[in-house]
Structures are given as structure tokens and as C-alpha cells.
Structure 1
Amino acid sequence: MKTYSISEIAATYHVTVPTLRYYDESGLLPFVKRNAAGQRVFTDDDLGYLEVIDCLKQSAIPLKDIRVFIDWCMQGDETLPERFKFMTDQETLLEQRIAVLNANLDFLRWKKWYYQKANEAGTEQDFLIPGTKIVDGKWRQIYLKEQDDAK
């Protein structure tokens, strides 16, 4: 079976060697073996765990929760229901975060469009309700119609 050094794993998963050492010391990598010199040695079997850890970490799941999940993995089949529930719960949370991010992205795109139009006009005054600093709602409707027409 092929083995990988900690630096190879760090490069593969775009993390630093100290980060991997921290993960190991924090109990996230209980599957990692050490060679005769005491260096961490990763195997092909470890790559699946590392892929899961990387995905969960990039999904903003706290390390303490990832550690619990990995502990369940190490325990074997008796924790399959817990692992399934964990993934289902994380999927729901991630979908909720994605929905919020998509709403924020939509708003930022609207504001970008607005500022582009204001820059082209050389002023915001043409877009505001007279006597206020409030953007007239008709401009948002114009933007939304342009977006629908572009689809």
C-alpha cells in the first residue's frame, strides 16, 4: 500500500503541515500511523477520511463536531445511524447557509447594477425618491426585469 508524508498530504489538501499536526493532536486523525522515526505516515486508506475532514472543514463545521464524526467512523458499523443523521443535519445547515449566501449575492448584484447605472449617469440623484436618500423602488423592478429578460 502506498504511503504519503505529511507534507504530501498538506499539499494535496491545501493545508499547512502545522495544521495537520494540530488536527492529529486534537484527535481528528486517529487513523494516522507513525513510522520508526516517529513521523506521521498516511496511507491510501486514510485518504477517504481526509477527504471527509476537508469537506466538513470547508463547510464551516466546527472541529469538535468533525472529531465526534471521525470517532464514530473509528467505532465502526454500530455508529452508522449517528453518522447518517450527522450528514443529514449538516446537509440541511449547509443548504440554509447557501440560501443566505445566494440572497446576499443577489442583493450585491442589484447594488452593483445600481452603482453602474449611477456611475453612467454621473449621479445618484436620478435614482432617488426626491428629497430623500432612498432609491426609488422602480429601479429595483427595472433591474429584476432585465435579469428575467436575460434568462
Structure 2
Amino acid sequence: MSMTEELLSISEVAEATGLTAHTLRYYERAGLMLRAVDRASSQHRRYTQSDVNWIVFLTRLRSTSMPIARMLEYVELVRRGDETVEARHDLLVLHRISVAAQLETITQSLTAIDYKITTYETMKAGRS
């Protein structure tokens, strides 16, 4: 962290990421942060922009239904450094396959919903 880097409070990070302070504390307790979150002399958390960027990435993984255990596996690989690049790549490729399958299922469901909406709109128009 540079001397001029702005440090953010937990409430500022919550607002910036759309997460609750509770979730941010949980991510820290669960070991999902790459490094320990800095603390002010008051013991209040102080996040760097790097911390925020990492939290945003974690949020993206969670929004794609990556289990916390898999996220922890990824975090541990990142912490171990460049020797794990291949393992990190493979983990994300496998997760991408899962996300693509979820997306296909959702797309099919959306198509079915659109079909029903069109059917009902046609029925409603026939009653007018």
C-alpha cells in the first residue's frame, strides 16, 4: 500500500460493492480476502482499492453460483503465487463450463416464459 493510497471504511466499501458490511466481515472471517484487511488505530477496517477490486471479483464468482469452498480453493491458489497459474486457469475454465450450462438452462426457461407471454397476449387480443 502506498502512503498516498486512499483507505476506505467498511461502509464505503459496502456502498461501492453493493454488499452489506456483514457480508464483507464474513468474507474476511471465511478467509476469502487475499491478505488481512488493514485496521485503523480504532480497529475499524480500512480497505485499499486492491481489496475492493478483489471483493468485486469474489462477488462475480458468487453471482455465478461458485461455492464458497471452491472460492477458498481459488484464493489459496492465488496466495501461493505464479506456480499455481495453471491450476487457477483450470479451476476457472471448469467453472466457466458450469456457468455456460446454467446460462443455457436460463435461456431455455426464458424462451418458455416468452412463449407463454405471447400466448396470453394473443388470447387477450382475441377477447378485445
TM range (shorter): 0.7 to 0.9
Kindly name which structure, 1 or 2, has the bigger radius of gyration based on alpha carbons.
Answer: 1
Q: Structure 2, unaligned stretches of length 5 or more?
A: none
Aligned ranges 1:49-60 → 2 under 5 Å: 49-60=54-65
The CA distance in 1 between the partners of 2:113 and 2:106, in whole Å, is 10
The CA distance in 1 between the partners of 2:40 and 2:76, in whole Å, is 23
- C-alpha displacement of 1:47: 2.8
- C-alpha displacement of 1:30: 4.3
The CA distance in 2 between the partners of 1:74 and 1:42, in whole Å, is 18
Measured against aligned partners, the alpha-carbon deviations of 1:5-40 in whole angstroms (never above 9, x if no partner) come to 111111111011011111111111242222222222
* TM-score, scaled relative to structure 2: 0.87
Q: Which residue of 2 aligns with 1:14?
A: 18
Q: Structure 1, unaligned stretches of length 5 or more?
A: 123-151
- C-alpha displacement of 1:62: 1.3
Q: Say which of 26, 33, 40 aligns to 1:35.
A: 40
The CA distance in 2 between the partners of 1:25 and 1:6, in whole Å, is 14
- C-alpha displacement of 1:94: 0.7
- Percent identity over paired residues: 23
Letter in 2 for 1:92: I
RMSD between aligned alpha carbons?
A: 1.3
* TM-score, scaled relative to structure 1: 0.75
